[in-house]
Structure 1
Amino acid sequence: MVIEYLSRETLPEDKADRLLLEKLLEFKKKGEIIYIDPQKLSETGLTVLLANHLFGKLSTSNCFVIDKDIPWGKDDQCFCDNKSCKMTGHFGDTSVGNTEVWHGNPSIIINNDLIVESMENLPGNFEEGTEAPEVKVESDVLSGNAHIISETIIFSFLQKKLHPERNHYLTPCIGVGNSSFIVMFYDSEHDVFLESSHIPLFRPCGVNKYEFDDAAILASWLTVNYKFLSSGLTEEMKTFECGFFKEAQEKIKVYEETLQLGNVARIVPVPDFRKRSLQWSSFIEETETELIGIIHREKKRMKHSETDRQDQRSN
């Protein structure tokens, strides 16, 4: 869709595709600026800021629910430094799973379709009854994180249960660190797990001014709109099973039939299994890089065209 638009400069005829592309183009045209150093935010604060300023604005719906137990006493005020900026989401119950298997409370759930997890909100990062410390998580802690993997798997099974009409069940989950994020995917029909490379979040554009990196914008747009933009696994990818079906065979019916969203206890047992399909992260990275390259080339072409028109008018 993006490639076709850049080559032909015309919007798609399909109304749904046009709405999705206009979301991306409007975001790029506006040029969202954050007037606070992201390094000064906790991972939780940064995750909420991303939901409000990036993920929500690129999605067809800007509604999201924040874990009600995350400490924040300013009601609907955003975590950014703009006191007039209000959140389009709200605090509530984000619990997911089943007490017989994995269950927990993700940091944020966007439109009941996508989990966004902060490394700071993971179990074991702070004791119950104490305030969360200001912890900066290194980017490599995101990769292969067992808790985020568990959330990705459970949410794919849940989406399959809630939306059996979908063509595929390759479901993403976003993990946020202090300077980058990753996207994990799990297909609960074919038992395939994927993980992206690290995606940089910001680049400075002035004193205490930061804009979103093009890679972050594009990857976020593709992820939050996966229901419309993802075609699922290729036939070749389907052969790379990660082994979760085998590990969870005694409880597989629980995963398939009795998971729920909301009103689930907070105890979090994390299953352990080997990821045998992470080599496909390169596929995600290559697609992302190709699209970003096209966007940059198109920007240069449009700039040269404008310069040529100005020269013609002056002559």
Structure 2
Amino acid sequence: MISCNGAESISFTEAKCGFEVLLDNDKEPSFVPFSVMFGKGVSFLKEMENANSEEIEKLQGPMKEAILCLDKFYKSKGKNETSLKTVFDMRHDGKSTITETDITISLAEHLLAKLAPGESYVLDSKAKGKQSCKCGCKKEPTFSYTGIGHELVWHGFIDIVFSSHLGVPSIASALVEEEEETTPKKRKLDEGDGKDKDGSPGGKTITEVKHEIPEQTLVQALAQTIVFSLVQKQRHPDFLNHMVPNIVISPEKFEIMMYDADKDILLCSNSVFLFNLDVRENRTLTNEAVIVLWMVLHYRIFCSGFDTASQAVIEKCKSNFKNLVQSKWNIYSDSLKCCVAGFPSVKSWSVNELLQRGHQLSLN
């Protein structure tokens, strides 16, 4: 990162970041393959590829929960695809008014939550046009407080917050973009404390939803990703891996952003298309999209992060965020808020107001 306004009282929608892509030998962009970043997940999936039902039954805890979640999704994949396309295609039929909240609800209900731990999510309580899913399933989303950050620095509200594993605090995030806001579900978060009713601490996943993904949305998502990862580190300093993802998603494609709050490493993926390129009526979700989203939403058990990287590589990859917000770093490291209803306003004085309202300094 070259510059940012993260040291000011700024909402995510007004966040600004200047950045450069890390180059190898000052020539080619550097990248980390998904199969390396999520090496644990790739290895596990390969093991499960030829496993029989008895071997799957022997699995324990989150690993078993994750593979059964994926299996369940594929058994109802066609039904969920139909629901998604019903809502997404309303954008083009010229008869229906489809909002960003409608898109968020359908993505949460028929894709993201189906692949997430516990199939649980909540939507931003400030979202406009709250109603049941427009595909006709009549599912009612759960709305709650999703504010993160601090009023003196970057802050704002997350479209969707997904639940963590039971016993494995996990965080993931997705962002969907359009003209309004987003949606969540089943196991509701206790207001303001950042914990599930089941008692599992933090480690959630966040999502932002839009009709499209313009440049400003990516900048907004970068700010959200950094703040959310720092929130998790602040609340859960004992996590072995602080590489936390954010899913930025639209009806056509998504990108994964990840920030390691411990090592100060910021990553952004290429775009992944949700559907194949067949004619619109026959398009289906790609296996690549399903598997990537599943692993990201279960990142606490599947993401390897930079655990095996040398110190030299880590130093080379640092984002420089801490240095850019140095004057407010104590807020980012110690005072961030999570799952709040709102942020108090911070008075911004003009030069004239400062001159008129100032107090004389006694030199005695």
- TM-score calculated relative to the size of structure 1: 0.71
Q: Secondary structure at the match of 1:174?
A: strand
Match of 1:107 in 2: 159
Q: Secondary structure at the match of 2:56?
A: coil
Task: Note if contact 2:179-2:211 (Cα within 8 Å) is conserved in structure 1.
Answer: no
Q: Distance in 1 between matches of 2:68 and 2:125?
A: 32
Match of 2:116 in 1: 59
Query: Which amino acid is 1:4 matched to?
Result: E
Q: CA deviation at 1:211?
A: 3.5
2:314 to 238, 242, 251: 238
Match of 1:228 in 2: 301
Give yes or no for the alignment of 1:34 onto 2:108: no
Query: Which amino acid is 2:172 matched to?
Result: L
After superposition, where does 1:229-268 map in structure 2 within 5 Å?
229-233=302-306, 234-236=308-310, 238-239=314-315, 240-261=317-338, 262-265=340-343
Query: Which amino acid is 1:6 matched to?
Result: E
Query: Which amino acid is 1:217 matched to?
Result: V
After superposition, where does 1:125-274 map in structure 2 within 5 Å?
136-137=211-212, 139=213, 141=214, 145-203=218-276, 208=281, 211-233=284-306, 234-236=308-310, 238-239=314-315, 240-261=317-338, 262-265=340-343
Shift in CA distance, 142/28, structure 1 to aligned 2, threshold 3 Å: farther
After superposition, where does 1:17-96 map in structure 2 within 5 Å?
17-31=63-77, 32-35=80-83, 36=86, 38-39=88-89, 40=91, 41-74=98-131, 77-79=132-134, 81-82=135-136, 84-87=137-140, 89-96=141-148
Q: Distance in 2 between matches of 1:142 and 1:177?
A: 13
Q: Report Cα offsets for 1:189-237 as digits up to 9, x if no partner.
A: 0110011111111348898565422122111101111112112214155
Q: CA deviation at 1:47?
A: 2.6
Q: Distance in 2 between matches of 1:121 and 1:152?
A: 21
Query: Which amino acid is 1:28 matched to?
Result: Y
Query: Which amino acid is 1:258 matched to?
Result: S
Counting helix residues as a fraction of each chain, which structure ranks higher? 1
Shift in CA distance, 189/73, structure 1 to aligned 2, threshold 3 Å: closer
Q: CA deviation at 1:168?
A: 1.1
Gap runs ≥5 in structure 2: 1-43, 92-97, 165-170, 182-209, 347-364
Match of 1:313 in 2: none
Query: Which amino acid is 2:323 matched to?
Result: K
Give yes or no for the alignment of 1:98 onto 2:150: yes
Shift in CA distance, 246/174, structure 1 to aligned 2, threshold 3 Å: same
Task: Note if contact 2:254-2:271 (Cα within 8 Å) is conserved in structure 1.
Answer: yes
How many residues are treated as equivalent by the alignment? 250
- TM-score calculated relative to the size of structure 2: 0.62
Query: Which amino acid is 2:56 matched to?
Result: L
Q: Distance in 1 between matches of 2:215 and 2:108?
A: 18
Q: CA deviation at 1:144?
A: 7.8
Q: Report Cα offsets for 1:147-172 as digits up to 9, x if no partner.
A: 10000000000011121221011000
Q: Aligned residues: percent identity?
A: 23
Shift in CA distance, 96/121, structure 1 to aligned 2, threshold 3 Å: farther
Query: Which amino acid is 2:59 matched to?
Result: D
Q: CA deviation at 1:266?
A: 8.0
CA RMSD of aligned residues (A): 2.8
Q: Distance in 2 between matches of 1:147 and 1:178?
A: 18
